[in-house]
Amino acid sequence: SSNAPASRTSTIAPAAASRADDEPIPEDPFFEEADDGFVGPQVGDPLEPVNRPIFFVNDAVDRAVLEPVARFYGWAVPEPIKTGVRGVFSNLNRPVVFVNQVLQLHPRGAAETLGRFALNSTLGFGGLFDPAAELGWDEHYADFGQTLGRYGVPPGIYHVFPLLGPSTTRDAFGAAVDTFLRIDRW
């Protein structure tokens, strides 16, 4: 929940929304209304005049460049290789998850994450294979934005970053900390 008035919140989606002065928001040519009626959490968007054009550019780049590349990758690369690549990147992120689970006071999850990292880094050849899953060790997710939230830091305002996409102030700061913690950075 945000302290901002309802007229100053946005999820950058429905064209039917209006601004505080009842000026209609320009129709989003890429918006497709969901059938489930779900409206995500409302976060203050005082940067909407800047966020909206960045969103449109990001969406255009996604549709024109990233989506075709992803479709080609999905078509051309065999599933076992894609699984191995995902495993390596997931394994590289395990130390970040471990640190955040410790900070969030989740010792059991932190221990399991550390065990997954150790096992998959050695017997799994850096994460190409996932022997930890065969032992029933679940893969956990935790980031510094969640850690800050656990300690009461509010989400802040909504931002749309060029090429990186949407975030809140808290999660953007958390992502920067997580990036610093990643072992592949060192």
Say what the pLDDT of residue 36 is.
58
Report the percentage of the chain scoring pLDDT > 90: 70
Which phi and psi angles does 165 have, rounded to 5°?
95, -165
Residue 101, classified by CB atoms within 10 Å of its CB into exposed (0-12), middle (13-18) or buried (19+), is: buried
Contact 159, 145 (CB under 8 A): no
Lowest mean pLDDT among 2-11, 39-48, 102-111, 156-165: 2-11
Give tens-digit pLDDT for 95-129.
999 999 999 999 999 999 999 999 999 999 999 99
Q: How far apart are CA 174 and CA 108, in angstroms?
A: 22
Say what the pLDDT of residue 40 is.
57
Say what the pLDDT of residue 181 is.
87
Say what the pLDDT of residue 139 is.
92
DSSP letter (8 states) at residue 23: P
Give tens-digit pLDDT for 28-85.
444 445 455 655 556 678 999 999 999 999 999 999 999 999 999 999 999 999 999 9
- Residue-averaged pLDDT of the chain: 83
